[in-house]
């Protein structure tokens, strides 16, 4: 019997490539998007079904999960991928923007996780994979809101694994580095501001970000890592993928704060 993966945010980027990769490996895929009528990514795959899901809407979350279970019999793996990034000077970011970022990246992920737990527990186990970021354990200038959302995902997931391990439910955290996705285009909210004292840092940060985006690795690499995590029977929790994530996360672990911060500051001079 083929296993089934339930993936949020599959309209593009990491989510899209993950859905395709799992399907190519013979899995059933419940691919969720906010606008199924406009999604043409998966028509050639008979083992992919598309469902409407908005992670900010609890009703749509429960409906999508229930429908996928009815169609496929069960869900073995959840991949919480839906999310986007806000960057900009914190002083200029509104409460509305902050709330929207957390409602998607944190509360949305929590909604889907909470909704799937009873099913996984009742069937005797499963795997929950949270797509976080290397930015969930290290930081860069102007990403205070995005980083805080991903750090929240890391802390939430690390604590949750203690609760779920007795039920044979594994928690996996994927920590991508710089990946070529719409994160650097459509899915970024660049906070323009009228605070000239920040402009030198904003200019440098924009240049560094765009250069990194052009040199980023393929989302297929992340998809392969997510699949590896889904198939891993161990309780290994974190999987870094895509440069410079592995080296930066190692340095962050080994170096004193001041040494690590100086490395990051040199990049933004």
Cα torsion angle, 115, 119, 120, 121, sign: positive
* Other Cβ atoms within 10 Å of 143 Cβ, number: 20
**What is the rounded distance in angstroms from the CA atom of residue 173 to the CA atom of residue 166?**
19
- 202 versus 228: the higher-pLDDT residue is 228
CA nearest neighbour of 119 among 161, 173, 155, 65: 65
**How would residue 187 be classed by pLDDT, with cut points 50, 70 and 90?**
very low
Q: Which helix (H) or strand (E) holds 253?
A: helix 245-254
CA nearest neighbour of 235 among 157, 168, 151, 154: 168
**146 counts as catalytic:** yes
* Three-state secondary-structure class, residue 168: coil
**What is the rounded distance in angstroms from the CA atom of residue 77 to the CA atom of residue 231?**
9
- 245 versus 180: the higher-pLDDT residue is 245
CA nearest neighbour of 104 among 169, 183, 51: 183
Domains of the chain, earliest start first: 4-267 (3.40.50.720)
Q: Give the side-chain half-sphere CA count within 13 A for 168.
A: 10
Identify the pLDDT of residue 73.
96
Position 9 pLDDT exceeds 80: yes
- 193 versus 238: the higher-pLDDT residue is 238
DSSP letters for 172-241: EEEEE-SB-SGGGTTTEEEE----GGGHHHHHHHHHHHHHHHHHPBPHHHHHHHHHHHHH--S---EEEE
**How would residue 186 be classed by pLDDT, with cut points 50, 70 and 90?**
very low
Active-site option among 21, 143, 146, 198? 146
Q: How far is CA 183 from the centre of its chain?
A: 11
**How would residue 66 be classed by pLDDT, with cut points 50, 70 and 90?**
very high
The mean per-residue pLDDT over the stretch 74-98 comes to 93
pTM for this entry: 0.94
**How would residue 193 be classed by pLDDT, with cut points 50, 70 and 90?**
low
The dihedral over CA atoms of 30, 35, 41, 46, expressed in degrees to the nearest 10, equals 40
The residues with which 66 forms a beta bridge, in sequence order, are none
CA nearest neighbour of 131 among 154, 158, 107: 154
């Amino acid at each position: 019997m083929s296993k089934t993966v339930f993936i949020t945010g599959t309209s593009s980027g990491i989510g899209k490539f993950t859905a395709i990769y799992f399907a190519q490996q013979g899995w059933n895929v419940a691919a969720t998007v906010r606008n199924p009528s406009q999604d043409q990514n998966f028509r050639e795959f008979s083992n992919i079904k598309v469902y409407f899901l908005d992670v900010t809407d609890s009703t749509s979350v429960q409906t999508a999960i229930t429908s996928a279970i009815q169609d496929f019999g069960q869900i073995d793996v959840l991949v919480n991928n839906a999310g986007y990034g806000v960057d900009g000077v914190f002083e200029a970011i509104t409460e509305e923007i902050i709330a929207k970022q957390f409602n998607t990246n944190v509360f949305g992920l929590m909604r889907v996780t909470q909704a799937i737990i009873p099913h996984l527990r009742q069937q005797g186990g499963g795997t929950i994979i949270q797509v976080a970021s290397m930015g969930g354990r290290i930081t860069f200038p102007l990403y205070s809101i995005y980083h805080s959302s991903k750090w929240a995902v890391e802390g939430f997931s690390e604590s949750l694994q203690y609760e779920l391990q007795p039920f044979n439910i594994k928690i996996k955290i994927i920590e991508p580095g710089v990946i070529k996705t719409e994160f650097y285009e459509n899915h970024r909210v660049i906070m323009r501001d009228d605070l000239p004292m920040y402009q030198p840092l904003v200019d440098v940060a924009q240049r560094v970000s765009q250069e990194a985006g052009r040199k980023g690795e393929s989302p297929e690499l992340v998809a392969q890592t997510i699949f590896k995590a889904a198939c891993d029977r161990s309780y290994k929790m974190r999987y870094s993928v895509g440069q410079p994530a592995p080296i930066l996360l190692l340095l962050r672990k080994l170096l004193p704060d001041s040494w690590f911060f100086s490395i990051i500051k040199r990049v933004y001079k």
